[in-house]
Structure 1
Amino acid sequence: MQEGTESRGFWLYDLKVETVLDGRTPVCRHIEGESFLVEGETLVFEPGTRVSMYALTALMPLLPAKQRMTDPNDWISTDAEVACPDPHCGGRFRITRLDKRWFTHAATTGQPEARGTPYWQEDSA
């Protein structure tokens, strides 16, 4: 590992993704209030929580962008709801930024010369 790489890193927001209907009628299986978390690269579901894989495909490209620091005037900072990809469905998914989490470059890189302990193993060390 290169000298000083442990101090280099970046912040990511943890996210909460929650189903909202606001009176709209869902066509797909969307339950108001059902949610999951995004912690780093991990999707965390409570027992019994289910999310349509089609809805998840609409959400996935936006989650990494929503995790990162963005300008307050950037649309990714202000727009929080994603529609179900079925045009006849009233389901929406509200993405809320929670606490920030610090990741080091050494714990997340694939570059062999810069690698350290993977971030998911750091707590157990």
Structure 2
Amino acid sequence: MSDEKGFWLYDLRVETVLDGREPVCRHVEGESFRVEGENLVFAKGQRVSMYALSAILPLLPAKQRMTDARDWMSTDAEVACPDPHCGGRFRIHRESKRWFSHAETTGLPEARGTPYWKQEGST
């Protein structure tokens, strides 16, 4: 990896939290999904409202990247359900970091390699 051009991204876990608040939408405390690279990974039976997901999605790529410790993206971790009457929140946890090769992730024809998801041993 030292000579190869690439970047690190955090894997994320996005968890539903209520902390005693009453949800209006279907939010079940503790349900979660993972973000691994560009993929949203749901365990069997786990669900997230598409309206709530629309509030979370724009923040996930920024949350995956390393940021200064004083940047709000590093310190703030909860996103509210977009329904103003709903008590649902989504806590974004940064977990382990994953290395991505630029050649495996770019669409630029002159820089392409084998896509990371076609690499041997990938899931």
| TM band (smaller chain) | over 0.9
**TM value normalised by structure 2:** 0.95
2:91 is matched with which residue? 94
1:24 deviates by 0.1
Q: Deviations over 1:61-102 (max 9, x none)?
A: 000000001000000000000000000000000000000000
Pick one of 52, 58, 61 that aligns with 2:58: 61
- Please, which of 36, 39, 52 is the counterpart of residue 33 of structure 2? 36
Amino acid corresponding to residue 81 of structure 1 in structure 2: E
Distance 1:57 1:42 in 2: 15
Q: Percent identity?
A: 77
Instruction: Answer 1 or 2: higher relative contact order, Cα 8 Å, separation at least 6.
Output: 1
Aligned residues: CA RMSD = 1.1
Q: For structure 1, which runs of at least 5 residues remain unmatched after alignment? A: 1-5
| 1:96-123 Cα distance to aligned partner (Å, 9 max, x none) | 0000000010000011111001011113
**Unpaired runs of 5+ in structure 2?**
none
TM-score, normalised by the number of residues in structure 1:
0.93
Question: Equivalences for 1:1-125 in 2 at 5 Å?
Answer: 7-124=4-121
1:65 counterpart SS class: helix
Q: Distance in 2 between matches of 1:103 and 1:110?
A: 14
